[in-house]
Structures are given as C-alpha cells and as structure tokens.
Chain A
Amino acid sequence: MAEARGGSLQRSMQNHFELFGLEPAYALEPERLERAYREIQAKIHPDRFAHAGDAERRASMQWTTRVNEAYRMLRDPALRARYLLELNGVDVALETNTAMPAEFLIRQMEQREALELAAAERDAGALARMRTALRIEKRELQDAIAEQIDARRDYARAADPVRKLMFLDKLDAEIDAAFETMEG
C-alpha cells in the first residue's frame, strides 16, 4: 500500500469518474455521485485538518480542490458530456466550430430576440414560459447525448447535441440575467 511518492494517487487517477468510483458514462445517478462526493469530503476536507500541520493542511486543500472540481464537472450535464467527449478524443471546441445547423442558429437568434423583448417589456411571465420550454428542450438533448455516448459509443456524433446543449445553457443564464435586471 505504501507508495513510491506521496500524492501519486491524484496523478494516477485516470479521470473524474474513477475518483468517485463510477463508470465513465453519461447517464449517472445523482444520488450516488453525491454520496461518493460526501464520503470523500468527510475524510479530506480542510475542516478535518484545521489543527494539523502545514503539510497535511496543504495536502487536504489540494485534494479537496480536485474533488470539488471533479464534482462540479460531473454534476453538470453539459460539462459532463463535454468531459466524456474529451476523454474519448473529441474536442467540442464551441468557439471555433461554426458548423452548427443553420436552422438551430436561426432559432437561437429568434429566442434571443424574444428574450430581449420580454426583458424590455419587463414581462416576467414570458420569461418564465421561455424557461419552461427551454428546460424541455434541454432534457431532449440530454436524452440524445445519452443515446450517442452510452448506447452507440459514437462520440463524434454526440458532439452536435453537446454543442446545442451548451448554447441552451448560455440562453438559460441570459434568462437569469434578464430576471436580475428586471428586479434591479
């Protein structure tokens, strides 16, 4: 069990899924991820080492930072998908890729215009309706991603719905921002 060098477990871990004892897959049980996250946190969190020496406090902070980052990525559907594609050699590269289907981009523009209008008219009801529709659309994309990644293992094909999901997440954040502006 003794290792050649301390801290080697962090380096030897292949990916975030391994950290939580999960199979690398898009579909996951949030409760299981949360349980694993909390089990690890309970052992390594800086609060457990507040009275320890500098070395242990530092090691604890580094591990906890890593665990928090892994948890953040796996918990979020778009980040988890993007991460799985990266593990399998597919770069989603949202910023440089312009090959989004024209109809999708046009609909995005329409939705943004509708958002601006609702914000300008301070129409909270319209914003809430947009959000509900958006959530449904996102769930459909997540199903498509699960199908491509988990069932077909076609990672290149999965890139398209993943990009769309990232677009919709941005729109979701803009709806939040619109609510905030409205509330002053």
Chain B
Amino acid sequence: MSLLQISEPGQSPAPHEHRLAVGIDLGTTNSLVATVRNGVATVLPDEQGRPLLPSIVRYLPGSKVEVGYAAQAHQSDDPKNTIASVKRFMGRGLKDVAYVENSPYDFVDAPGMLQLRTAAGVKSPVEISAEILKVLRARAEASLGGNLVGAVITVPAYFDDAQRQATKDAATLAGINVLRLLNEPTAAAIAYGLEHAAEGVYAVFDLGGGTFDISILKLSRGVFEVLATNGDAALGGDDFDHRVFCWALEEARLPPVQPRDMRLLHAKAREAKEALTYHGEAPMTARLSTGEFVDVTLSTEAFCRITQHLVQKTLGPTRKALRDAGLGVNDIQGVVMVGGATRMPQIQRAVGELFQRDPLNNLDPDKVVALGAAMQANVLAGNRFQGEDWLLLDVIPLSLGIETMGGLVERIIPRNSTIPTARAQEFTTFKDGQGAMSFHVVQGERELVSDCRSLARFELHGIPPMSAGAGRVRVTFQVDADGLLSITAKEKSTGVEASIAVKPSYGLTDAEIERMLRDSVEHAKDDMHARALQENRVEGERLADAVRAALAADSALLSPAERAAIEERLSVLRKLLPGMDHRAIKQASEALNRATDDFAARRMDASVRRALAGQKIANLDA
C-alpha cells in the first residue's frame, strides 16, 4: 500500500532518539510483547528463547508470584492458586462468568468485578493481569536496554467499557504508560495490510482463547478504516476445550471430578483438540487422583458435532458486521484469520462457506496481533520510519445509552461510531421542585436495560426549584481514542451550571490503584520513591520534547510574551528533570501543560487550515 505522507517539519524526533515502545498482546491463553527494531516488527522472546508467555499466574503463600511456564507447571497440583484465562474475568461480575461451577477457583463476589481468593490474599483480575504485564515489561526493558516510553495494549474489539477500563488499570498497575488500547483485529489488519500492501475491504476473523471478534476494514492509501465490528467477548478456544472435557466425562461415565482432575482433563481436552487439526482422531488418556483411568478417543466427526453450536455462534456476529458495514460477502477482498482457534478445520470450513472463498492463513495467528501492536506503538511513540505513517480510524463496538422510564434504553452513541466521538442528550425534570436527577449508564444493543451491561450510576444534585419539565440537564458522553467513556452532566436552564465527571463504578478509583501500587511495590521490596521519580522523569521528558518540537514548528502562532512564558516553564522543567524531587518534576510538568493549553489549540487550528489549504478548495481566513 502506498502510504500517506503526514509527517511535518519539526514533528519527527531527531533521528538518534529512538523511543522504546512495545506492543503487548494480553491474551486469554498466551501473551506476547513485540517491538519494531530497525524498521522490522519482532516478538521479544524470554531468556530461553520462548516467544509466548502463558497467561497464567500462580500465587504462593507470602508474596511470591510465578507467571507463565513456571505457573503452568503447577496448574494441576495447585489449581486454586494458579489462575489461567484471567482475561475472562476482566471487568466481569460473578454472574457474567460461564461455567463457574466447573472452575477450580475460590471466587469472591464483589460489586462490579469478581475477585479470587488465593494463598496470597484476595486478588482482583486487574491485579492478576498486572502480574503478566509486569513480566512482559521487564522482558522488554531487559531486551531493549532502557525504560519504555509506553506500550500499545491490545483488547478484543468487542470488549465493553468495563473490560477496557480494567485492562488499562492493569497496565497502570504494572507501571506501563498506555499509548493506546488497540483492538486486536485492527492490530492484525495493520500487520497484514503493511506486509501484503493490501488495498480494498477485508474481514478480520479473530477467534482467540476466550474471545471472538469480526471486523470489516477498508484499507486504502495508508488509511485503515474500521467500517464495522462485532463479536462475542466470551467465546473462544477455551469453550471448545470445555465441550471436549464434558464429552470425555460423559464418555468415561465419570461423576463430577475434583479441581485438580478438572485441570488435568481440560489440558488433555486441549491436546486432543489441537491433535485433530492434523489427525482424524485423538486419544485422551489420564489417570485421575481417585485412581480412575480415563481412556477415550475423540474423532473429528464427534468433535465437529459437539462444537457445532460454537461454530454457529461466530457466524451471526459476522453477518451482523457485514450488514452494519452495508456490504455483502462479494464486496470482501479477503478474510484474514487470526487467533490460535482459527486453526480448527471446522472454523476454516464455516468461514470459507460463509464468504464463498478460502480464508487467508499466511500470518502466524499467534503473533500477528502483537506485531501489529508493535507497529502502531512505534508510530504513536513518534518513531516514524522513512517519514511514513498511516492513519487508523476505529469504532466503538457496542452502543452506549441511558435508562429512561420503564426500564428502556435511550441510545446516545450507536455502535460502530468512529472514535473519538461525543454525543449529548437533554433530560428534563418530571416533578415540581425536583432537586436531583439520577442516571443509569448502560452499554449494549437490547431495548431493555436489564439485557444490557450496567456501566455506572450517578446523581446530579443542586438543581434549583422549578416546575416540572423546566429543569434541563444536558448529559454528554465522550468516548476517547481508546474506546473509553467519560460522562459530564450539566444543569443549564437557570444559568446555574452544575457539572460532574463520572468514573464508571466498575473501574478502580485512583486511591485503589495507589493502594495496589503500594502493596505491589512493598512486596517487590522496591522503592516507591524511585519508581515515582522514574515515571515522572519519563513523562516530563516526553512533554519537554513535545513542547520543544511544537515551538520549533509553530512559534509563529505565539506573541513574543507568550513564547517567553512557555519557554520559562520549559526551562524550569528541564532544570528539575535530572534532580531527585519527583513532586517538583510533576508540578513543573503540570505547569508547562497548563501554559501550553492555548498554544496547543492554535496549533490544531493551524493543522486543520493546512489540511484545507492542501486541498486548494477553501480559504478559511477569507
């Protein structure tokens, strides 16, 4: 694909300063970290040369934590403390999670998000995911030899706001600056599109360990535009394993088994599933802790029969995505297969039949998401290679709305809106003298509130006494480029404005994150101060670089006095950066940020003008 040139003088960093940025695929089964080195995206392996990190965390008494293969080795002998597939629990309550009864964990029901009781205490899925991210961060920093300026972390496109927020919180907890949450199929499309110079409309079919996404993208002239996305955030290879597990229990006429045997049989079920990709049948043998012996053989035919409904569950969302994009199967140039579970022959067959063409399997389905994320991280960090760049336009997967009378949903932002986006809706009081209004924010496609996901509840107080219908509250939903929602509400009829910002209820409060950070740092016997200093320095340097580049490019937009004011704050920050006072660095960064508010807005205006002038169509100054 010929890439759109969008770099501007003064915007690209000096050639020698390559900022260390990575892409992280935080998967249900395996996680990976990748980076762009010398213009080539590569997965960073561990010390033993293994690219994948099993997404498994084991808690031991005290503060010891094992992650990856070390934890995987204890899955059967320590099932309660060895947490696998934690991604399924992110941003989820106990009632949202499938097969709780078949899980070996000790769940704790908590408002918003469930927690798990382990030998090291009660842990939230956010903390458990953070352990995986910490290992990947350490791997990257050791391999690249420096501190990361940030990471792109991938999430299933069909993740809702709660799941995205939880992922971002986990990164914060792991000390990672999130450059962007990137949708997994979009990351795959970047890797595929750049490698194959693809142009046209493509479908990305991404069936991972625990999530399914289908995205329809238009690739043209260096632009990746998501036209529609759909999926199922609780459908993946794990479900196929579970079907085989249940089948094996029935076949062997076993009663419900103990947690450790459950783990063992799940592992055997996965092996059998994987063997069927290449063989007509697969034996499953295991000796249980009760002394019973399991010896059954799974045939391809039986496997297809017991998983047929799971295959079907991928086709409905695929048709919906096509319809939302306003396209038919004949409009699709190619179907890119992503995720280990797409190796299953029945998935390949079903996708081929639906799209009436052979799916594209020329990418490593396990690595492509991490590689695409690394490419995007490289761009976001400002390391453009050869002055080339691309533009990514993504969408929100699920509609956002507010509960109205009778438990119905008033849709405010419809699904597949291009992000960032904002939409406002006015609500009026319905009683005389009503002093407060309460709002319930939901996400989903159903008409009834009870069928949607509850995101947050908030109240607006201090509405002045008025007759019914006279009080008007304007609620604004803003979705940012990470797909995360923030809400403001203003009462405006009397000129008195009350305004609030809502952090959804499932998200962790800043205080909670701070406490978790403190806990984890104490346990690691690390120094809280050293960490804060390092983070504020990285942040301060990033800001100083950005302001310097902005001044070099656009100081014509400032009066001499304005320029001097910014430069003064910039020099204050630069003097403080090598010092040890992390609070002073933070304050100087904040002051510089405030001082450049107006400048930033003017630069953005100037960019728009330049874009328009480039089209030689209109002169806005006229």
Contacts and interface: CB of A to CB of B under 8 A. Distances in A.
Interface residues of B, number: 70
B150 interface: yes
Given A2-B557, A2-B558, A42-B611, A55 B597 contact: yes
Contacts of A179: 319, 323
A51 B602 contact: no
Per DSSP, are chain A's interface residues mostly helix, strand or loop, or mixed? helix
B614 interface: yes
Contact of B618 (A21, A39, A48, A64): A21
A72 B621 CA distance: 25
A70 B480 CA distance: 17
A52 interface: yes
Interface string B316-338: 10011001000000000000000
A43 B607 contact: yes
Q: Which of A8, A18, A36, A47 has the most CB of B within 10 A?
A: A47
A46 B556 contact: no
Interface stretch (B37-45, B202-210, B417-425): B417-425
B393 interface: yes
A77 to B, nearest CB: 13
A167 interface: no
B610 A46 contact: no
Say which size band chain A's interface belongs to.
35 or more
A65 B557 contact: no
A55 B596 contact: yes
A152 interface: no
Contact of A40 (B547, B556, B612): B612
A43 to B, nearest CB: 4
Nearest to A175: B323
A9 B380 CA distance: 26
B4 interface: yes
B135 interface: no
Given A42-B611, A68-B420, A21 B617 contact: yes
A53 B602 contact: no
A3 to B, nearest CB: 6
Interface string A1-19: 1110111111001000011
Given A36-B617, A39-B614, A42-B6, A1 B606 contact: yes
Nearest to B19: A51
A47 B391 contact: yes
Contact of B620 (A18, A38, A42, A51): A18
A13 B609 CA distance: 11
Given A39-B614, A46-B480, A55 B593 contact: yes
B605 A10 contact: yes
Interface in B378-402: 379-382, 389, 391-393
Contact of B422 (A48, A54, A69): A69
B390 to A, nearest CB: 9
B373 interface: no
| Nearest 4 CB-CB pairings of A with B | A6-B601, A21-B617, A50-B380, A7-B601
23 contacts: A2-B556, A3-B557, A6-B599, A13-B620, A38-B391, A42-B6, A42-B611, A43-B8, A43-B607, A44-B604, A44-B608, A45-B393, A47-B379, A48-B6, A51-B150, A51-B381, A53-B592, A55-B594, A56-B596, A65-B478, A68-B419, A68-B421, A179-B319
